[in-house]
Amino acid sequence: MDQPYSQSDPITLVISEIVHPDRIPEYEAWTQGINQAVQQFEGFLGAELFRPRDHDYPEYVVILKFDTYENFRTWTTSAVYRDWMEKSRGLVTVRSRQQFLSGMELWFTLPSALKSSAQPAYYKKVIIGILSVYPLIVLSNLLLGPLLAGLPPLLGLLISVSLVSALLTYPVMPWLTQWLEFWLYPSVTKRHNRVDNGHRSP
């Protein structure tokens, strides 16, 4: 069920899909087709496809972005959208509950985490923040420092912070949290390992 949003709020939608192992090429073609279709709709900002790291567990994650909730609803209630959803029948074995995310919440949302309400421990979030922010600040100072030297200090700082924030949102945080999934979400990772080994989770 859609969560209540202001009509003018930007929307980021995360969808997790388990694809039938024998139909992965068809699914990849389907994602290309629906991506081309959604680009024709007003307010579409972009889509990102995260492919599975483990081919024995083909979980794809799609991140879809619209500038407003109203434009997002126009897409999801359109006949074009319904037609493409119908075409995905038989390709996707499990499609997760859709979750609307905003701001930093998206940084700590992983494919596996979409199935669990568990969140990383606070100290782990702090460590991830340091690991990602510090190198970006150093890089920003090295690259932008000479270019911003003649600007007012506050304006230069604003430009530097904008660059760091943009890189954090994508690609740094999504990639870093995926690489460290085993550490951020150990219980979820263990549960998936048991499922992959043919054991039922308690």
Residue 162 covered by a domain:
yes
| Domain count along the chain | 2
**What was the pLDDT predicted at 42?**
93
As beta bridge partners, residue 202 has: none
| 139 close to 191: Cβ distance less than 8 angstroms | no
Domain that holds residue 160: 118-202
Q: Against a cut of 0.75, is the pTM above it? A: no
Residue 5 covered by a domain:
no
Domain finish residue from 101, 133, 154 = 101
**What was the pLDDT predicted at 108?**
54
**What was the pLDDT predicted at 79?**
96
Residue 169 covered by a domain:
yes
| 91 close to 19: Cβ distance less than 8 angstroms | yes
Residue 40 covered by a domain:
yes
In this structure, are 92 and 157 located in the same domain? no
Separation CA 22–CA 2 (nearest Å): 32
Separation CA 197–CA 160 (nearest Å): 47
In this structure, are 122 and 186 located in the same domain? yes
As beta bridge partners, residue 12 has: 65, 101
Residues contacting 94, CB < 8 A, separation 6+: 17, 18
Whole-number Cα distances in Å, 43 to 29, 98, 103? 24, 19, 18
Residue 67 covered by a domain:
yes
**What was the pLDDT predicted at 31?**
92
Domain finish residue from 101, 131, 162 = 101
**What was the pLDDT predicted at 133?**
87
State the DSSP H helix or E strand holding residue 49, giving kind and residue range, or none if neither. Answer: strand 44-50
In this structure, are 92 and 60 located in the same domain? yes
Q: Tell me the pLDDT of the chain (202 aa) as tens digits.
A: 444 455 566 777 778 888 998 899 999 999 999 999 999 999 998 888 888 876 777 888 888 888 888 898 899 999 999 999 999 988 988 887 555 555 555 555 544 444 444 566 778 878 888 888 888 888 888 888 888 888 888 888 888 888 888 888 777 877 787 788 778 766 544 444 443 444 433 4
Residue 4 covered by a domain:
no
Residue 6 covered by a domain:
no
- Give me the amino acid identity at 39: Q
Separation CA 197–CA 91 (nearest Å): 23
